[in-house]
Chain A
């Protein structure tokens, strides 16, 4: 089974609107970390936000927030007030101790912000 599933290959959002990018994960480890990265067309993967499995509150970083639903094993990224510069690929990732803390990445979602 895939560790990380991103079911939205492509998404469009109007500038200044909010958008949710979906991510579900698969683990039986009680301890794990969830990450979101942004990859612009230039290629560099930029770390956006982290959520730990024991964190009680949803993580937030500026316009980024993570909608963490542990029972459903989902970790959706919410981008508020979208900007043109948000157009990029977005990758969800997970680490878990039982597999040596290796990073598992999803296939990504391409986000296009429309002016």
Chain B
């Protein structure tokens, strides 16, 4: 496997279900991100993990719970979601430098298309 992988690619769940999205990066990066992309809206940053520590949580509802067991894996645990949570969820990774890294790009996975019924 190369780059950033995400599973599953598609997910349909009911509002009472619990599911998890998985992301794995094979690039040796030290930072990972979850984004939500809804139709006709800019990408919304949800969570950032830098060196396995969560450094950003953009007022995301508690029904979304991230987990980063190591620098290569990132999970997004979902429970009691709402229909408005239906979206494309993108994972990304980057190599962050201690002194700042505005030059570094993010590399994205293919995304998980989530439909909440």
Contacts and interface: CB of A to CB of B under 8 A. Distances in A.
Contact of A33 (B42, B48, B103, B111): B103
Contacts of A91: 43
Nearest to B48: A102
Interface in A72-99: 91, 95-97
B21 interface: no
B92 to A, nearest CB: 7
B45 interface: yes
B113 A43 contact: yes
Interface in A38-55: 42-47, 50, 52
Interface in B90-106: 90, 92, 96, 100-106
Nearest to A51: B103
Nearest to B9: A43
Contacts of A96: 102
Q: Dominant SS at the B interface?
A: loop
Interface string B47-73: 010000001100000000000000000
Nearest to B4: A44
Contacts of B40: 107
B97 to A, nearest CB: 9
A43 B111 contact: yes
Interface of A: 4, 31-33, 35, 37, 42-47, 50, 52, 91, 95-97, 100-103, 105-108
Given A32-B102, A101-B100, 19 more contacts: A4-B42, A33-B102, A43-B88, A43-B90, A44-B110, A44-B111, A45-B106, A46-B108, A47-B106, A47-B108, A97-B100, A101-B101, A102-B45, A102-B48, A103-B43, A103-B106, A105-B43, A107-B41, A107-B42
